[in-house]
Chains A and B, each alone.
Chain A
Amino acid sequence: AQSVSQHNHHVILSEAASLELGCNYSYGGTVNLFWYVQYPGQHLQLLLKYFSGDPLVKGIKGFEAEFIKSKFSFNLRKPSVQWSDTAEYFCAVTMNTGFQKLVFGTGTRLLVSP
């Protein structure tokens, strides 16, 4: 079965530090990749997505992610985090065959201290 791994469960950073959250998936075919974010008390919302083309994608609020096919990875990055980035981040994948079934990773809880 397809799976998504996020190895960092909790990350604590100071404001202005750089962020990189890891995401790896296990599926040999063509995939679509997503990062979702859940701010405290809010609903999950899409941060960015990758389907094809340029492997470096930019999302909202200064986030970007890089797809590396050979490593089955889709890591999320931000050069300088802010206190308002405190949230839980989920990587997710759909396969390019058949129905859209989002498979999520276990999430990474990010705490940014001011």
Chain B
Amino acid sequence: DVKVTQSSRYLVKRTGEKVFLECVQDMDHENMFWYRQDPGLGLRLIYFSYDVKMKEKGDIPEGYSVSREKKERFSLILESASTNQTSMYLCASSLGGGPRTEAFFGQGTRLTVV
């Protein structure tokens, strides 16, 4: 089974802190994604990566950055956390090869910024 593991299930951080969310996948997938999930808004794409050291902005990249130094690991960085970044963050991965491949999701990290 594909496994996408997010390092924390719950995090509480203070406003202004730099926050790192880590994601690791074990199936040698080329593509990795970060989404945030908010009630009534569904999942919105923050950033994605289709190869090591490659990154592309999604629909809501403001206030976030990412890092992909190794194929299996994709990190989301909140440069200076704010209360409006309180949310559930979901990491996903998929095989390369086009728009028909299934995405596999992690359990999510519920981040609260106080």
Q: A residues bordering B, Cβ < 8 Å?
A: 1, 4, 6, 9, 32, 34, 36, 42-46, 49, 51, 90, 92, 94-107
Contacts and interface: CB of A to CB of B under 8 A. Distances in A.
A100 B40 contact: no
Contact of B40 (A9, A32, A34, A44): A9
Given A90-B43, A102-B45, A106-B41, A46 B100 contact: no
B101 interface: yes
Contacts of A4: 42
Contacts of A6: 42
Interface string B97-110: 01111110111100
Interface in B67-114: 90, 92, 94, 98-103, 105-108
Contacts of A92: 43
A99 B42 contact: no
Contacts, number: 64
Interface of B: 4, 31, 33, 35, 40-45, 48, 50, 56, 58-59, 90, 92, 94, 98-103, 105-108
B41 to A, nearest CB: 6
Nearest to A95: B99
Nearest to B48: A101
Contact of A104 (B31, B43, B94, B106): B43
Contacts of B35: 104
B33 A102 contact: yes
A102 B44 CA distance: 9
Most chain B CB atoms below 10 A, which of A46, A49, A98, A106: A106
B100 A101 contact: no
Nearest to B58: A101
Given A43-B105, A105-B42, A32 B90 contact: no
Contact of B99 (A45, A90, A96, A104): A96
Contacts of A43: 4, 90, 105-108
B97 to A, nearest CB: 8
Contacts of A1: 59
